[in-house]
Amino acid sequence: MTNDDPIEIARDVVIHPGDLEETFIRSSGPGGQNVNKVATAVQLRFDAQNAPGLPERVRDRTIRLAGQRATKEGVIVIEAGRFRTQEQNRADARARLVALVAKAAEPPPPPRKKTKPSRGAVERRLKAKAGRSTVKKLRGRVDGD
């Protein structure tokens, strides 16, 4: 897969390369003296709000899941600087974006259905409580006969 290929996440969810903007910045990670001279960290910007490859439901969930990484305008900013090369950091940033959008593409779980305990379960619980109460009452002081 080259950097010019669209990234297909689900059947109807695609990230086009034109929607991504990469800027290289100086990394704070490993690299010795090299870290002060070479811009190896990548700042990946993805305009999720205006991305044509995202359906409305996925777009909203992606921005919500991004949290602090999303701007008010709906642009998701991912910074990757774990590695010493631009290529590895670029791949890391893209992989993190794909994971975020893939999680947003999954349908949310259905709401929990409220249930009530059965009458038998309630009776068994109350009977057990009464039994414990009796046992504890019988542990009282023994009168000196």
> pLDDT digit of tens for each residue in the chain (145 aa)?
556 677 777 777 777 777 788 888 877 656 666 666 777 788 888 888 888 878 888 888 888 888 888 888 888 898 888 887 888 888 898 899 889 888 888 888 899 999 999 999 999 999 999 999 999 988 877 776 5
Region at 128 (left for phi over 0; alpha for psi -120 to 50; beta for the rest): alpha
DSSP secondary structure letter of residue 138: T
Q: What is the pLDDT of residue 102?
A: 87
Note the CATH number of domain 7-105.
Answer: 3.30.160.20
pTM: 0.66
DSSP sequence for 6-30: -EEEETTEEE-GGGEEEEEE--SSS
Residue ranges per domain, the chain? 7-105
- Residue 79's H or E segment, with its range, is strand 75-80
In 3D space, the residue among 79, 53, 81, 85 whose CA is nearest the CA of residue 66 turns out to be 79
Residue 129, pLDDT score: 97
Structure confidence at residue 123 (pLDDT): 97
